[in-house]
Structure 1
């Protein structure tokens, strides 16, 4: 095949790549960070100064999740170079895994309920190992910054009443049909957050998540409402296919709920107003995000018509600040 055919195939690859990068709201720099390539290399690919490699194509397919369209264009480009154009006989629908350990969250269900002055938080994640190396741990975070918009008040608050791992009753399980307790350890502890490392095992025996395998991780914790704050935020640090955030409050507290999506790579933000459904003295809200953007923040906030709902058992030195 001639160079013209090869150039045309490379141009088709670039068009597909650029289209999906824009679809995911991702800059060239962000794509470079997520795929492990230098930003200048991504720029050279899109400007036609460099031709794509198999490793580059497999990594951007993983990050941009184009339904194999990017990979199909790469295969067409590799075929245009004639015999020896590809290192291995990969079909147009067989996307090879990226080198190293890579994790995709296929589904995340996050829920928060206010019960007797305590926030009960539960999270369920479907994990999929898509790399070439097994995964042995997964890190989660508990955020408790009571006054995110007022650093001075936040410092005073946490200095008096820091959150400790002993009071949150943290629990985690792994598995689908017969979930088993997970071992875990505190990776980092600060006044405003706790990082917890979940060890992928079963019954105390390490069970790595091998390439191609999936599993379900459930974890939960409890935080006094006066310590937790009035927001729940999910930061998308791994490719995520679906995100659902649910809130459940006593109807008598008169909650007002809204959500914000902030994408730092696309320099944009959007506000949503989840609809509430009242039933048996409770009011529930749900926010569903299909294919949330990488490095974006999805944050739900709420205010109560009756602020006493969040002050049950709060120390006297907190009440003036919270009100």
Structure 2
């Protein structure tokens, strides 16, 4: 239903402007917000009334600096006082082939073990329509960093959710009596839609009008893809909804729940989440009756191990290995250049100390992307650094400076031994030209590319009193190492 509030929908106009500013298509905006594309299109055209929750998601996705919230307040202030119409769903209408289905019971069990989530989903379906049902649509959607779509989009574009990881299986009937076949409907980096087919090796078994059956499906997702939340969206008429979260007791999980709809902000669950202790497991359970259509029920959790120290902090480890930490003002001083070849002996001595420090550090941590150390990081104010590439090559640099950059600029996470508790996204060029001096006094220019260029640029910065945090985009902050999922992996280009 079109909204009659004035000739101009201030929110729709502002949303369209910010969509254009960020260069998003309507589909890309919908994906970033976590809403259905058709609903976003209707809001943009003024055919549907946005909710405050929608405005908040749009603000987050488009980084509009409060402009969209202000536009929503203006839009609401201009609306005549009247009962609110039924809001449009945030998800698409059930596709052809599922019409007439009622979900008598929707039950989900999510179990976490050793970095892997396994979801077992059971539904009792009733065909209250007039036609046989031959297939049923399910969705698998992950978001490692809810509320930070830019970061999530980068994660999944570089490391997408795959069918091999999911290992989807499905069954028909109680006790997994009959295997169901399935076929992909949509295959995206962080989102899959699948048709479960009422057929298998034993032939076809359509769900006829008036009949009911249980279906069950199961899949796995690694925790590098799955954030600390699980959401149930009510897309079909449902009589009972239940969820169990099954965690190892030693993680000391705490769980809470939020209920949202298209017409209201997030509210706590109306009924409490119950915890049962079962040996070395903590099982959290919750259920409700007759959930409203298009409502979303979101369970979130935190693990004690996410915040409690389980050993020395990474920074403390590096300090114990002789790495100067960022509280030392010496890291901000430009390093003193070598006069080569007359100081070649001193230069070789410093490199020997750097290599010894690198060996100590490598025994304490895995560096899949390679590593580097600059002389100021071991308390020596001289312009020398070494870089160990992912392939094991050692690059030695005396008096280096970057004289030219070329190629694309991309952002990837970097870490620094001098503040190893965090990782930060740093924009750097794919190719750099570095002028440096050999031990015999010759001036050389060497080109470095991609991951090695990033490693070298990081160490050259150290020799000029610059830390990688100085290179990060305004408004972007490092993240705790506990949230970083790239340890041990290589650079991605």
Flag whether TM exceeds 0.5 (same fold).
yes
| Kept after mapping to 2: 8 A contact 1:101/1:134 | no
- In structure 1, the residue matched to 2:295 is 296
Give, in whole Å, the separation in 2 of the partners of 1:181 and 1:127: 16
Within the candidate set 193, 197, 200, 2:198 is matched to 200
1:270 corresponds to which of 267, 272, 294 = 267
* Correspondence for 1:322: 483
- The superposition leaves residues 107-138 of structure 1 with CA deviations (integer Å, 9 ceiling, x where unpaired) of 01101011121111000000000011111110
Preserved CA contact (<8 Å) 2:89 2:262: no
Q: CA RMSD in A?
A: 3.0
2:89, 2:139 → 1: CA distance? 25
Q: For residues 320 and 156 of structure 1, do their structure 2 counterparts lie closer, same or farther at Cα, with a shift above 3 Å needed?
A: farther
Query: 2:188 matched to which residue of 1?
Result: 190
Equivalent runs, 1:44-63 vs 2, <5 Å: none
| Residues 259-317 of structure 1, C-alpha deviations (whole Å, 9 max, x = no match) | 1111214x2532135232222111110011111110000110111110299xxxxx987
Query: Greater CA deviation, 223-232 or 267-276?
Result: 267-276
The answer to whether the 8 Å contact 1:163/1:227 transfers is yes
Runs of 4+ with deviation above 4 angstroms: 30-34, 315-319
**Whole-angstrom distance in 2 between the partners of 1:300 and 1:132:** 36
The CA deviation at 1:31 is 9.3
The 1-side partners of 2:180 and 2:125 are apart by 15
1:256 aligns to what? 254
Measure, in 1, the Cα distance between the counterparts of 2:276 and 2:301.
15
> How far does residue 211 in structure 1 lie from its aligned partner after superposition?
0.6
Any idea what the Cα deviations from partners look like across 1:15-69, whole Å, max 9, x if unmatched?
xxxxxxxxxxx975459999x9xxxxxxxxxxxxxxxxxxxxxxxxxxxxxxxxx
3-state SS of 2:225 partner: helix
Aligned to 1:312: none
Contact 1:168–1:221 (8 Å) recurs in 2: yes
1:159 to 157, 160, 165: 157
User: 2:137·2:193 contact (CA, 8 Å) conserved in 1?
Assistant: yes
| Alpha-carbon distance between aligned partners in 1 of 2:259 and 2:184, rounded to the nearest angstrom | 29
The whole-number CA distance in structure 2 between the counterparts of 1:156 and 1:177 is 40
The 1:262–1:139 alpha-carbon spacing in structure 2 relative to 1, beyond 3 Å, is: same
CA distance in 1, matches of 2:186, 2:300: 25
Q: How many pairs were matched up?
A: 229
Question: 2:215 maps to what in 1?
Answer: 217
Query: Structure 2: how far apart are the matches of 1:177 and 1:282?
Result: 24
Any residues of structure 2 matched to 1:73-88 within 5 Å, and which?
none
Select the structure with the greater relative contact order (CA < 8 A; seq sep ≥ 6). 1
Check conservation: 1:145, 1:193, Cα contact below 8 A: no
| CA shift in 2, pair 1:104/1:28, >3 Å | farther
In 2, distance between residues paired with 1:177 and 1:146? Answer: 32
Distance 1:32 1:322 in 2: 33
Q: Which moved more, 1:176-185 or 1:161-170?
A: 176-185
Superposed CA deviations along residues 233-276 of structure 1, whole A, max 9, x for unmatched, are 111010000000100111111211111111214x2532135232
TM, length-normalised to structure 2: 0.43
Counterpart position of 2:173: 175
The match for 1:96 is none
Q: Alpha carbons of 1:119 and 1:29: their partners in 2 closer, same or farther (altered >3 Å)? A: same
Aligned to 2:124, what secondary structure does the other structure show? strand
* Residue number in structure 2 paired with 1:306: 305
- What's the secondary structure of 1:104's corresponding residue? strand
**In the superposition, relative to structure 1, how do residues 28 and 303 fare at CA in structure 2: closer, same or farther (>3 Å)?**
same
Instruction: Tell me the residue number matched to 1:123.
Output: 121
Tell me, which stretches of 5 or more residues in structure 2 are unaligned? 1-82, 309-367, 370-412, 414-422, 424-479, 485-493
Partner-residue secondary structure (3-state), 1:238: coil
Secondary structure of the 1:219 match is strand
